[in-house]
Each structure stands twice: as structure tokens, then as C-alpha cells.
A and B are shown apart, each in its own frame.
Chain A
Amino acid sequence: MAKKITIFTTNTCTYCVQVKRWLAAKGHAWEEINLDEHPERQAEALEVSGALTVPVVVITKHDDSQEVVVGYNLAKLAPAVA
């Protein structure tokens, strides 16, 4: 299991809802950063993902290494949080 999961989201992003639903179904907890409520953190999302999109999921492993999954991509997300 991942040590920490952080998700950058917006209010209108359907794929963010899907990612959170999938993580919940798999028993994962996460911290959510809503960019509509915290627009000052958009630059942070862009820096970690290299993309102007959400969802961005940042998975911190137990060795403190990080993996970033951009968009709704279960093929990458599933192994990243395993």
C-alpha cells in the first residue's frame, strides 16, 4: 500500500470523481487538493504532472519515492498504489 496519496481535483471534473470512487473501492485513503478552492496550488499540480489537467494523483511510497498518475488511468494507477 502507498504511504500517502494526494489528488489534485476541480469541482467539475468527472474523472476526479471516478478516481476517488476507484480508490475508495480499493480501500485507499487520500488527501484532496481542490484547485477551484485553492487556485494558488495550480502551479504545484503543473510542476508534479507537467500537464494542465486533473485529476493528478501523487502516490508517495514507503521509501518516500513518488509516482504521478495523470488523468483517469487505471492501468497506471492500480500498480502505483499496490
Chain B
Amino acid sequence: MSDTETPQTPVHDVIMIGAGPAALSAAVYTTREDIDTLLFERGAVGGLAAVTDWVDNYPGFPDGLQGLELAENLRKQAERFGAVIELGEVSKITDEGAYKRLETTEGDMLARAVLIATGSDYKKIGVPGEKEFYARGVHYCATCDGAFYRDKRIVVVGGGNSAVQEAMFLTRFASHIDLLVRGEKFRASEILQHDLEKFKDKITVHFNTATDEIVGEEGKVVKVIGTDKTTGNKVEVPTDGVFVFVGLIPNTQFLAETAIELDEVGFVKTDTHLQTAMPGVFAAGDVRSGATMQIATATGEGASAALYMREYLNDHPVEDAAIEAKKTY
């Protein structure tokens, strides 16, 4: 027993770090099995799905639905079966054998099994001006900040699904959008590219265009300087704001000093049962090495992880007396 134990140290069967689609789906499964489940979320319940304008490819919704609506539905479903969602941040996981200790902003907590489902965040491009004008002309959330660009010009950087989807969303505010795509073609799905055609009067696509610098004057963004990769020539795009969607980075900084193994990019490595290098700790969704970064696959992985955690809990029973000792020490 640790010297730092307090009489109030909460003990749960399962603690899920994150409350995005993977964790919420896993929670539906664990709580329906009467497994005591706590979810710990530092940002938005629903994760990146909740800040996505529109989700068109989630099975079962033939007309698509708002990302926020999908997130709310997942939350309600998990809570209906007894999942508890707390707002706060986990800073460390330590293996104490039958229990994993989580150091959190709400104090230490103990769990018999843990699910890491912290997802990912939008990547920065790392060019001059990006940091300086953060939230004052450079943005990573169209649904949060788009309203500040009514009748103004916007540059969107990126060529994947998020960039195309959010550029189309931003047309409801902006007078014109320049979409800067580094590659010679989109990585976005065919259907999104087809939808983009409907906005050709408002969105100008610049392929083979690298973004080199975001330039401001008197505290405001005024243009983006890039390079036309086909000619090597510099290009300048006048704009009032820049929205960046160039890929995802995993939210795994808090795992750096733990026994949980990460891949070279920082995603969590798991075995075929979604278990990490720390026994009893599982991972699912965008944070997992090899994930396909889709909401549908995140919910599927969450369900799978829940079943594997149930198996783990059954194979690693803890005596009631040991639980009581943890609770009252």
C-alpha cells in the first residue's frame, strides 16, 4: 500500500481517459455489464467529432448529422447506462499490480483497468506567424471561430477530409476562401471532392502550394506567403484569417514517462486485444497506433476494447477485502 494513499482515493473498475466516440462507445458496453466506469475528459465531450460541422459517413444516419449531435447522442447513451463523466486531466499512469494509479487534476484515482482514448488534435504547420497569430487570425476550429469571419477572406490549409469539409462550412461566413493544398491532388474522399464542386464560386483551390509564412500588419493577419511547387515561385494570398487542417497528432504527452509503449510518432502501441505494454491498460480510437481516424472505427474499437477489458477483469479478480482496504486505508 502506498504511503500517499488517502482515505478518499476513489476506486473504479474501469477509468477511461477521454470521452470521445471510442470511450463513450466503450462505456456503453462496460456499463451495460454493470462494470463501474468513470470517464475523464479534459476538453470537449465527444472529442474532435463534437467540433466537426457535419458527419456524413457514420453508419445508420442516411442523411448525415451534425458532429455535435452525434457526440451528444453518444454521451446520453453512455450516461443512460450509468457512465460517469468527470472534467479534468490525467497527468500520469502507474502500474501498481491489481490497480493502476491515475494522477489527475481531481486527485489520485485507482482503477482495475484503464482505457486510453484521448484521441488526437489538429497538427500545427510550424511556419512563421502561426504561433504569433494563434486565435487572432490563425485557427484550428471552424465551428468555434468561423463566425468572426463574416464577409471576410479566409485561407484554409490542407487537402484531407477535414480541410475540405471545414472549408465548405466556412463558406456560410466568408466572402471567399482560398484552399491551399500542398500535394497535386486532394487526400479527401471522392464524395467530399464532389461536394466541393458546388462551392467553386466561393472556394478557389490551389494545388501544389506549400504554406511558408503567415504575415500580419498592425496585429492582424493580412496574407499568406507560399510556394508554387511546380514553378518554385513565391505566391501571396491576401486573407483576413487562416484555418489549418493538416493532419492529426496524438494526445499522448502524459504517457511519455510511463511504461506504455508509443510508436515513433507518439501513438499508443497495442496488441491484437487492444492492450498496451502495461497490463490492464488498453487503447482505442485515434490515439492508437494503426487507427484509421474515423468516427465509425473509433466507436468499433471502443466496443472491442470494452469486451477485452471485461475479459481482463474476469481473469484478474480482486478480492472485495482488497477493494475495501484501498477505499478506507
A binds B: yes
A: which residues have CB within 8 A of B?
10, 12-18, 22, 35-36, 39, 42, 46, 50-54, 70-72, 74-75
Whether A50 contacts B144 in the complex (CB less than 8 A), given A14-B44, A14-B46, comes out as no
Q: List 21 A-B contacts (CB under 8 A).
A: A10-B143, A10-B146, A12-B146, A14-B46, A14-B68, A14-B71, A15-B51, A15-B144, A18-B43, A18-B44, A18-B45, A35-B147, A36-B147, A50-B136, A52-B148, A53-B139, A53-B141, A70-B135, A74-B105, A75-B89, A75-B105
Contact at B145–A53, with CB atoms within 8 Å?
yes
Q: In the complex the two chains form, what is the Cα distance from A10 to B46 in whole Å?
A: 18
Contact at B43–A13, with CB atoms within 8 Å?
no
Q: Give 13 A-B pairs besides A15-B51, A46-B148 with Cβ atoms closer than 8 angstroms.
A: A13-B143, A14-B143, A16-B144, A18-B45, A39-B150, A42-B147, A51-B136, A52-B145, A52-B148, A53-B148, A74-B88, A74-B105, A75-B89
Query: Cβ of A70: which chain B residues have Cβ within 8 Å of it?
Result: 135
Instruction: List B135-171 residues whose CB lies under 8 Å from chain A.
Output: 135-137, 139, 141, 143-150
Query: Cβ of A39: which chain B residues have Cβ within 8 Å of it?
Result: 147, 150
Query: Cβ of B68: which chain A residues have Cβ within 8 Å of it?
Result: 12, 14, 17
Query: Cβ of B135: which chain A residues have Cβ within 8 Å of it?
Result: 51-53, 70-71
B: which residues have CB within 8 A of A?
42-46, 50-51, 53, 67-68, 71, 87-89, 105, 135-137, 139, 141, 143-150, 241
Contact at B45–A53, with CB atoms within 8 Å?
no
Contact at A52–B44, with CB atoms within 8 Å?
no
Q: Which residue of A lies closest to B219 (CB)?
A: A50
Q: In the complex the two chains form, what is the Cα distance from A14 to B71 in whole Å?
A: 10
Q: In the complex the two chains form, what is the Cα distance from A46 to B220 in whole Å?
A: 12
